[in-house]
Amino acid sequence: MSQKIKNALISLSDKSQIQRVLKVLQKYKINIISSGGTYKEIKKLGYKCTEISKYTKFSEMLDGRVKTLHPKIHAGILSKRSNSKHRREMNRKKFNYIDLIIVNFYPFQQTIQKTKNFKKIIENIDIGGPTMVRAAAKNFYDVSIITDKKDYSSLISELNKNKGATSLKFREQMASKAFGLTAYYDSVVSNWFNRKFNIVFPETKTIFGKKIAQLRYGENPHQKSSIYINDLFSEELGLKKIKGKALSYNNYNDVFTSLEILSSFKKSGSVIIKHANPSGASINNSPIKSFQESYISDPISAFGGVVACNFTINEKIAREISKVFFDVILAKKFDKGSLKILGSKKNLILIDISKFKHKKEYQVKQFDNSFLVQDKNKIIFKKKDLKFVTKLKPTKKEIRSAEFALNICKFVKSNSIIIANNFSTIGIGAGQPSRVDSCRIAVQKAKQFQPKKLKNSVAASDAFFPFPDGIKKLIKAGVKVIIQPGGSIRDKESILAANKGKVKMIFTGTRHFNH
């Protein structure tokens, strides 16, 4: 069902490209109503336009807060053309139908990105615009609503194809997009208020997102996927792709995991991620050594993974990296020599993370019609809460080594066990239902690739040991310091096993599940 357009209302903050639309409106003799800056722009471009205050015979008031909020405007938008009662009421009031609304909102999100002036921010919360958009979208059977400059071409094509009318299918599509915009806009405002007034868990929670890209596919080839940005203060991820094909769903998943781990490093560090788990991680004053140690932690699992470094990759480091097949390399910077070497790798993706910043204080996990929200796990342990529960006590260096191991542990899928030596992982046991199996895998990995480093190594567990069997496996392998939360009813048995094996054990009281 096509709907002839006789009257259009245009109200824009962003007036660029509107001349294209005005030309086609003039072609089909469509009357234009507008206000404020948009009215002036339309007149300046040489097109006829009726100012809203003249159309409604009601002057703008309250510094422009009230201009389109008028019965003549909203009756013209909301009236059902096929409803005889509506037609009689419109005729009695001598109101005209408004068949096309072209609106974009006050730039609230851009305003909060530019200023902290509270009054200015509040004045950039649009009221009239979203009200008109919602009204037009609700009455899509009769009214066309355009909220995005990207749709100007579609509108022009639609009007030309239908000789000044629009099809129902077009109006349905635009209405759906319009409601998406009002929801997004209100969500941005709501989230800004929550942030401003430190409301972490509001009674109603909205999560907004702006589409960045359609991905090649999802976690598997038969799944579709897109990536959205959820950021009040930026529309960029802060990830600058220097080279390579578009990132996939799995690439992004691994990249985000690696960025979380990197953010916890206070020294030069590297981490290699495979399927959202680290296969190796290391901090070292020597950047190249940190990469090398990360790689030899598990060179088989590292194959095809994501390498993330919190330093500049130079030519020497690039040569080391180029010896192995990796999917993605992230670094603070790539020098010219490194780009020449890594640039020759056909499918390798290079990403500059120098402008990436962690901004969110919470995490969200969604399942079907519900989602979980929690604040981020930023604590490793609190030093005042540490308990040295064995006869032998750790040295300061051993405590720092244990801290490193536990920090990596909290990013590994539970149940997790990390074995480390000299601030580098040598064995990672991830994602096992049984903690003793995680211990077995971590020991097996260390024995396979770096057996000599098992002697006097440090082990970390994300949660308590329910039985001493896992601890016995670690002790037998050569671990000399174990850090764990404690809290099991069998803690005494674990302590007894540690004392018997002449191992130092630390209780943190802090669990680090990661599911």
Q: Side by side, which strands form the sheet with 457-461?
A: 387-388, 504-507, 479-484, 457-461, 417-420, 425-429
Position 371 pLDDT exceeds 80: yes
121 token code pair? 């921010």
Q: For residue 368, what pLDDT is reported? A: 86
Position 63 pLDDT exceeds 80: no
Segment 269-292 shows an average pLDDT of: 96
Q: Band of the pLDDT at 490, cuts 50, 70, 90?
A: very high
Name the active-site residue from 275, 332, 333, 413.
275
pLDDT tens sequence across 426-452: 999 999 999 999 999 999 999 999 999
Q: Is 15 a catalytic residue?
A: no
> How far is residue 450 from each of residues 57, 293, 442, measured CA to CA in Å?
84, 10, 11
Q: Band of the pLDDT at 36, cuts 50, 70, 90?
A: confident
Q: For residue 428, what pLDDT is reported? A: 97
Q: Band of the pLDDT at 160, cuts 50, 70, 90?
A: very high
Listed ranges 123-132, 254-263, 377-386; the one with the highest mean pLDDT: 254-263
- The residues with which 424 forms a beta bridge, in sequence order, are 282
Name the active-site residue from 40, 138, 332, 345.
138
User: For the chain, what is the mean pLDDT?
Assistant: 93
The reported pTM is 0.84
75 token code pair? 């009756």
Q: Band of the pLDDT at 224, cuts 50, 70, 90?
A: very high
Q: Is 275 a catalytic residue?
A: yes
152 token code pair? 């100007």
Lowest-confidence range among 367-371, 415-419, 456-460?
A: 367-371
Position 365 pLDDT exceeds 90: no
Q: Ramachandran region of residue 443, left (φ > 0), alpha (ψ -120 to 50) or beta? A: alpha
311 token code pair? 């330093």
**Cis peptide, bond prior to residue 191, ω within 30 of zero:** no
Position 58 pLDDT exceeds 80: no
Q: For residue 265, what pLDDT is reported? A: 94
139 token code pair? 């009455």
Q: Band of the pLDDT at 57, cuts 50, 70, 90?
A: confident
SS3 at position 155:
helix
For the chain, which domains are there? 3-196 (3.40.50.1380), 237-352 (3.40.140.20), 383-507 (3.40.140.20)
Q: Which residues, other chains included, contact 277 with Cβ-Cβ below 8 Å and sequence gap of 6+?
A: 257, 412, 413, 428, 430, 431
Segment 176-198 shows an average pLDDT of: 93
Lowest-confidence range among 21-25, 90-94, 313-317?
A: 90-94
Amino acid at 163: K
Q: For residue 87, what pLDDT is reported? A: 87
CB-count exposure of residue 100 (10 Å: 0-12, 13-18, 19+): buried
Q: For residue 400, what pLDDT is reported? A: 95
SS (H, E, C) 207-257: CCCEEEEECCCCCCCCCCCEEEECCCCCCCCCCEEEECCCCCHHHHHHHHH
Q: Ramachandran region of residue 356, left (φ > 0), alpha (ψ -120 to 50) or beta? A: beta
Q: For residue 359, what pLDDT is reported? A: 83
Position 301 pLDDT exceeds 90: yes
Q: Band of the pLDDT at 317, cuts 50, 70, 90?
A: very high
Q: Where are the beta strands (DSSP E) in 399-450?
A: 417-420, 425-429
Q: For residue 215, what pLDDT is reported? A: 93
Bigger pLDDT: 83 vs 270: 270
- The residues with which 457 forms a beta bridge, in sequence order, are 479
Percent of the chain at pLDDT > 90 equals 75
Q: Band of the pLDDT at 61, cuts 50, 70, 90?
A: low
Q: For residue 402, what pLDDT is reported? A: 96
pLDDT tens sequence across 200-215: 889 988 888 999 999 9
Q: Band of the pLDDT at 358, cuts 50, 70, 90?
A: confident
Position 226 pLDDT exceeds 90: yes
pLDDT tens sequence across 107-129: 888 899 999 999 999 988 888 88
Position 346 pLDDT exceeds 90: no
- Give the helix/strand (H/E) hosting 507: strand 504-507
Q: Which residues, other chains included, contact 337 with Cβ-Cβ below 8 Å and sequence gap of 6+?
A: 314, 315, 318
How many Å is the Cα radius of gyration of the chain? 31
> How far is residue 223 from each of residues 161, 215, 248, measured CA to CA in Å?
36, 10, 12
Lowest-confidence range among 2-6, 185-189, 508-512?
A: 2-6
248, 220 in Cβ contact below 8 A?
Answer: no
